[in-house]
Structure formats: C-alpha cells, structure tokens
C-alpha cells in the first residue's frame, strides 16, 4: 500500500546545540575540576593549607560574585604562610642557619674541657653558654688568656653576621665579699662587662650592638643543691640576635617577596 502525500513538509529539529547544553557543560566541567581537586587535596599535609587552596580554587573558578582573581605563588602552596609552619626565608630559617654554623665553630675549639661551651637556639635568639671556670679565675672578672682564642672566634662570628649581643653574667648562691666585688651582683655584672669590653677593644664591634647584664644567682640553669649544679650555674651566656644586616634575614625575605609576591613573616 503506497504512502499518502499530505502536501506538508516534515518539521526539522532546531539547528545548533540546545540552550540547556551550555549550562550542563559548564556544570560538568566544574564538577570534574572539583573532584580532581579533592583527589589532590589528600596530598597536602595541613588543614590550613587545604583551606587556603579551597579558597583560591573557588575564586579562580568565579564561584563567588565579583571574585576574579590572579593566584599568587603562596596561594597555590608554593610558599607556606600559615602560623605553625616553617618559613623558607624568614627568621626561623635564619636562626637555624646561625646555630648550625656556630656549632661548627664551637666544635673547632678544643682548648677547654667538655661541657664548658654550648650553643642553643631559644626563641628568636641563639645562646652561647660558657662556664665561668673556662673564662675567669675564682673571684675575678678578667678573661683568662687561654680562653681568648675561643672568644676571638666567637667575636669574629658576631662581626661576620652583624649580630646584636647581650652578655649575661650568672653565679651560684655562694656568697662573696671582697673590696672589688661586695656581692654576686657586682661579680656577675663585672664579668659580663669584661666580655663586652673585650669585644669592643679587641675586635671593634659597634658598642650600640652590645649590652651587659648581671643576674647574680637569680636565674639558675640547674639545681644549686649539688656541687655539679652550682658549677654549671657559674656561667656567661652570650645571647646573639639577628639584625636587619644579618645574612639570610629580612633582606633575603624582601628579595623573596619581590620574586614570589608572598608574605614571609
């Protein structure tokens, strides 16, 4: 049986992609990016980094209105900036480098007994502890001749790294009463001042970068109940603090900011 002709042409579908496909395509692309991000997020080691990355991801995709942004290196996790992480260019790294280099210098000093010299990074400073027995005779504040080569090396390290210095004098609680030093206050202050004077007169270190402080027996590092503890408490502590001229400090951080545009504080 033949087909019946009606004289009407069959309706053609509209040309081009249906309007809803554009929205659907955008949505699937965003979903794909989102799940790829979730897969990679597991590789980051801190919650703060993940939060930072999510914020950058949202802004870069325009999820929020008026959120057109350009990602900086620190926003894509090349440089950690949240609290509690270690800076690559900041003060923490600078102090670690100072401590390591100073420890190497201390290891070369073989002219005194073991335990008389120690290096410790504490907060925003590096402390060099020297037993008073190595530096001074009993009841005296004059630096011993045999220790001066070691003190010269410490002084050169201070000059090379442009460090600010606080020299602290400490004693044990055993009383002293002489014409020169009526108490441990005068003795501890005199010993600290003697080291500062040596750094100025022998090595020409800027006096504006130096301080001397005497604490007598008021800041013991060990118990004074034993002879060994009292010996360790009789000490000089040379506290080293970086300045804006110290290598690897603020100047390096500023250069890093110029390169990366991030916050290294």
pLDDT per residue over 156-183, tens digit each? 999 999 999 999 999 999 999 889 999 9
| 4/207 Cα distance (integer angstroms) | 113
Q: Residue holding tokens 């990366």?
A: 260
Domain positions in the chain: 19-76, 91-242
CATH of region 91-242: 3.30.1330.60
Q: Which helix (H) or strand (E) element contains residue 159?
A: helix 148-160
49-104: pLDDT as tens digits: 656 666 665 555 554 444 434 444 444 444 444 444 444 445 677 788 888 888 87
CA separation (Å) from 37 to 25, 42, 50, 63, 71? 18, 9, 10, 15, 16
Question: Per this entry, what is the length of the chain?
Answer: 265
State the chain's mean pLDDT as an integer.
76
Question: Phi and psi for 25 in degrees, rounded to 5?
Answer: -65, -45
Q: Tally Cβ neighbours within 10 Å of residue 235.
A: 25
- Residue that wins the pLDDT comparison between 8 and 99: 99
User: Which band of pLDDT confidence, cut at 50, 70 and 90, is reported for residue 255?
Assistant: very low
Confidence of residue 109 (pLDDT cuts 50, 70, 90): low
Residue 126 reports pLDDT greater than 80: yes
Question: What would the mean pLDDT of 242-252 be, rounded to a whole number?
Answer: 70
Residue 72 confidence (pLDDT): 47
Query: Which three-class secondary structure string do you get for 30-89?
Result: HHHHHHHHHHHHCCCCCHHHHHHHHHHHHHHCCCCCCCCCCCCHHHHCCCCCCCCCCCCC
Look at strands 117-122 and 163-170 and give their pairing: unpaired
Using only C-alpha atoms, the chain has a radius of gyration, in whole angstroms, of 34
CA dist list (Å): 181 to 50, 127, 177, 196, 261:
61, 26, 6, 18, 56
State the virtual CA torsion across 182, 186, 190, 191 in degrees, nearest 10. 100
> Cβ–Cβ contacts within 10 Å for residue 93, how many?
17
Contact indicator for 211, 166 with CB cutoff of 8 Å: yes
Question: CB under 8 Å to 202, separation ≥6 — which residues?
Answer: 152, 155
What pLDDT is recorded for position 36?
Answer: 81
Distances (CA, A) of 223 to 66, 80, 106, 219, 231: 64, 41, 26, 11, 10
Q: What is the pLDDT of residue 105?
A: 74
Contacts of 237 (CB under 8 A, 6+ apart): 127, 128, 129, 130, 167, 168, 170
């Amino acid at each position: 049986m033949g087909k019946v002709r009606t004289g009407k042409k069959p309706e053609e579908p509209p040309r081009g992609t249906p309007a809803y496909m554009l929205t659907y395509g955008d949505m699937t692309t965003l979903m794909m990016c989102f799940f790829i991000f979730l897969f990679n997020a597991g590789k980051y080691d801190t919650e703060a980094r993940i939060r930072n990355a999510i914020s950058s991801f949202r802004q870069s995709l325009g999820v929020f209105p008026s959120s057109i942004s350009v990602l900086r290196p620190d926003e894509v996790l090349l440089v950690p900036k949240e609290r509690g992480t270690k800076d690559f260019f900041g003060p923490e790294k600078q102090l670690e480098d100072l401590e390591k280099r100073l420890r190497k210098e201390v290891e070369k000093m073989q002219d005194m007994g073991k335990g008389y010299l120690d290096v410790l990074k504490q907060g925003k400073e590096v402390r060099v502890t020297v037993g008073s027995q190595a530096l001074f005779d009993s009841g005296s504040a004059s630096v011993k001749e045999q220790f001066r080569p070691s003190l010269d090396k410490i002084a050169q390290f201070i000059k090379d790294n442009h460090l600010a210095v606080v020299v602290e004098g400490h004693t044990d609680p055993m009383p002293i009463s002489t014409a020169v030093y009526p108490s441990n206050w005068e003795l501890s202050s005199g010993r600290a001042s003697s080291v500062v004077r040596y750094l100025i007169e022998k090595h020409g270190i800027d006096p504006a970068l130096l301080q001397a402080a005497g604490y007598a027996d008021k800041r013991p590092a060990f118990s004074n109940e034993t002879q060994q503890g009292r010996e360790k408490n009789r000490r000089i502590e040379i506290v080293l603090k970086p300045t804006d001229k110290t290598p690897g400090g603020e100047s390096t951080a500023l250069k890093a900011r110029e390169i990366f545009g991030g916050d290294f504080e």
